Structure 1
Amino acid sequence: MSIIIKFFVAPDHDAAAAVVEGGPDGVFESLAYGNFDAEEALIEWESIFIGRNFEDLVTDEEPGVVADPGDGEGPVVLAASRSLRDALATADEHRLVEVSRLWVAERAADGEVFDQEIATGILNGLAGLARAAGGKHQGLYCWMA
């Protein structure tokens, strides 16, 4: 499980990959969270928002790995799909609450307790980043360390 998770907006994969060692702080606007599996969450969120099967997303290598210099043993940068970015950007408050409830239920089915209010707050924050990214034709990324 990741200790530090930062979602951020960057113009492209190369720019996002450039912050793998130190993180996006001071380079890109970011939101910090901790203590959940962000890679799995990105897949689950896309599955819920878009209606794609979790296994199909994994087969399609979503989320995309932008930088992983330590082969899973250090910081990594992931790219959220354009579909997820756009779904977050266009979601209203009702949809964000609905998706967060479904996500909390999925986590509970796997034995993980996640606070509904925190889950909704995370998705609200990501929706704001996604709106900024989409308006500038940029990507939504996740740095984990």
Structure 2
Amino acid sequence: MAHDIVFFLASDEETAAATYLGAPGRAFESVTCHFIEPDSVIVEWDMYSAAPSAEIPPPDQLNRWPWPNEVIEPENDGVEIFALPPRLARALARASSAELAELADRWTTRLRTADGDNMTDDGLLAVLQEVARLAASVLSTGGGLYSWSF
């Protein structure tokens, strides 16, 4: 089941966890993406940051990759909060425009393969560029990059 994701900056995991019931809202610098699985997109981006390639990883390789840490134990209400790995935040912050475009193309192709016409209408390159901007803020101000989804 796909979710709406809000990628956001928070000073620490405790602050990120406090968004549980109300979402990050306007109190946090954020970017939203619709109808995407949060944990698999984080894994997709992390795999790319470790070994950039336009090739889509096979599902079994994606499933063997370390999955993101949950900030809080999930309840039965569908809310999930994940911490993006610091190495991913660094990679996104330092990525060139060409690398972001290649990753966005790879991500789009994987989503189309999995979801067909039901994939998000969001401009995935624009989302990725905004998340990279947030990641750059993490490097300059500290804290972490998180995802909140429902």
TM-score (norm 2): 0.83
Identity %: 26
What CA deviation, in whole Å up to 9, does each residue of 1:40-73 have, x standing for no partner?
A: 111111111212952342xx3x2110024415x3
**Residue 90 in structure 1 maps to residue 94 in structure 2:** yes
* Aligned residue number for residue 71 of structure 2: 66
2:49 partner amino acid: F
RMSD: 2.2
CA contact (8 A) 2:4 2:33 kept: yes
* Aligned residue number for residue 55 of structure 1: 63
Sort the Cα spacing of 1:100 and 1:18 in 2 relative to 1 into closer, same or farther, 3 A. same
CA contact (8 A) 2:9 2:144 kept: yes
* Aligned residue number for residue 11 of structure 1: 11
| Correspondence list, 1:1-145, <5 A | 1-51=1-51, 53-57=61-65, 60=66, 62-71=67-76, 73-113=77-117, 114=119, 118-145=123-150
**Runs of 4+ that moved beyond 6 A:** none
Query: Which runs of 5 or more structure 2 residues have no equivalent in the other structure?
Result: 53-60
CA contact (8 A) 1:66 1:78 kept: yes
Q: Secondary structure at 1:22's aligned position in 2?
A: coil
CA contact (8 A) 2:17 2:81 kept: yes
Would you say how many aligned residue pairs link Structure 1 and Structure 2?
Answer: 141
CA contact (8 A) 2:101 2:125 kept: yes
Distance 1:32 1:105 in 2: 20
Greater shift, 109-118 or 79-88, is seen at 109-118
TM-score (norm 1): 0.85
Q: Secondary structure at 1:21's aligned position in 2?
A: coil
Query: Which runs of 5 or more structure 1 residues have no equivalent in the other structure?
Result: none
1:18 partner amino acid: A
Greater shift, 44-53 or 129-138, is seen at 44-53
Q: Secondary structure at 1:34's aligned position in 2?
A: strand
CA contact (8 A) 2:3 2:37 kept: no
Sort the Cα spacing of 1:99 and 1:90 in 2 relative to 1 into closer, same or farther, 3 A. same
